[in-house]
Amino acid sequence: MFSNLRSIWIVFLHMFHKRETVLYPEEKAYLPPRWRGRIVLTRDPEGEERCVGCYLCAAVCPVDCISLQATEDEHGRRYPEFFRINFSRCIFCGLCEDACPTDAIQLIPDFEMGEYHRQNLVYEKEDLLIDGQGKVQGYNFYKVAGIDAGVKAKGQGANEDKPVDIKKLMP
């Protein structure tokens, strides 16, 4: 009997406590920048696509929901011809972001992706590409890679010597 009354009293007191429930969607919860939500493809500081079509995200994806096809422009710069994520399969584990060697694929704090039709959860490259660099600022893979893809000439990279003149006579 006493315990019942005590319970009623405690519940009564809660009427004067601060409310825990967030009134979503009118009120948004704070999500930290590293929160693993919707996947985006970012661009390098020059505004070009960062994705080089290396297939590592697709390979590491535990539910195999990423598929792409790499292609090249006339300078030899590799980029995805198509890049498709089936978000109806995605488990937002973030392994693709970890695997990405160019910081192109990033998970952002956005989870509002509800759809009435599963088909609408298939995102193509146009849906995934954003206009900024995302969480990683200032990185352009083609400036540190060895190949010449129209971004820097051979030997012009930060960590590169000039190309060897193979006909020089000095040892």
Partner 1 sequence: MSMTNILIDNVPYAVDGSKNVLAASLSLGLNLPYFCWHPALHSVGACRQCAVLKYKNAEDTKGKIVMACLEPIADHLRISIEAPEARQFRAGNIEALMTNHPHDCPVCDEGGECHLQDMTVMTGHNCRRYEFKKRTHTNQYLGPFVNHEMNRCIQCYRCVRFYKEYAGGKDLDVFASHDDVYFGRHEEGVLESEFSGNLVEVCPTGVFTDKTLKKHFTRKWDLTDAPSICHQCGVGCNIIASERYGSIRRILTRYNGDVNGYFLCDRGRFGYEYVNSPQRILAPAIKGDCALANASPEQAIRQISAIIASGKKMIGIGSPQASLESNFLLQQLVGPAHFYAGIPRAEGKLIRRVITLLKNGKVRTPSLAEVKDFDAVFVIGEDVTNTAPMLALNLRQAAKKGPVELVKAMHIPEWNDAAVKDIVQGTTGLFYIATPHHTALDEIATRTYHAHPDDIARLAYAVAQHINAFSSIAGASSSTADAHSPDAGTTANPDADFEALSKSIAAALLAAKKPLIVSGISLYSEALLDSAASITNALKDQAKDPGLVFIVPEANSIGLVMLSDQFLEDAYEKEEPDEDEKPSQADEDTAILLENDLYERTFKGQTDLFLRRQKNIIVLDSLENATTRQATHLLPAATFAEADGTLINNEGRAQRFYQVHQPDNAVRSSWKWLQELQSAASSEPNVPPSASTHFDSILQSLVREFPELTAITTLAPAAGFREGTQKIPREPHRYSGRTAMHANVNVNEPQPPEDADSALSFTMEGYAGVPPPALTPFYWSPGWNSVQAINKYQIEVGGPLHGGNPGKRLFEPSNIPAAILTPNIPAPFTPTPGEWLVLPLYHIFGSDPLSALSPGIKERIPQPYIALNDSDADKTGILEGHYVEVLLNGQKQRLPVKLHTGLPPGTAGLPKGLAATAGLQFPFSTTINSGNHD
**According to the binding rule CB under 8 A, does residue 138 interact with partner 1?**
no
Q: Within positions 98 to 127, which residues make up the interface with partner 1, using CB under 8 A? A: 101-102, 118-119, 121-122, 124
Tokens of residue 151, six digits: 């971004």
Given a contact cutoff of 8 angstroms between Cβ atoms, the answer to whether 63 and 88 are in contact is no
Tokens of residue 114, six digits: 């509800």
**According to the binding rule CB under 8 A, does residue 149 interact with partner 1?**
yes
Region at 64 (left for phi over 0; alpha for psi -120 to 50; beta for the rest): left
Query: Distances in Å between the alpha carbon of 39 and those of 55, 83, 109, 110, 118?
Result: 16, 12, 9, 9, 17
**According to the binding rule CB under 8 A, does residue 93 interact with partner 1?**
no
Sole binder of partner 1 in the list 65, 105, 108, 151 (CB under 8 A):
65
Sole binder of partner 1 in the list 40, 56, 128, 151 (CB under 8 A):
56
Task: List residues near partner 1 by CB under 8 A.
Answer: 52-56, 58-59, 61, 63-72, 78, 82, 84-86, 88-89, 101-102, 118-119, 121-122, 124, 141, 144-149, 154-155, 157, 159-164, 166-168, 171
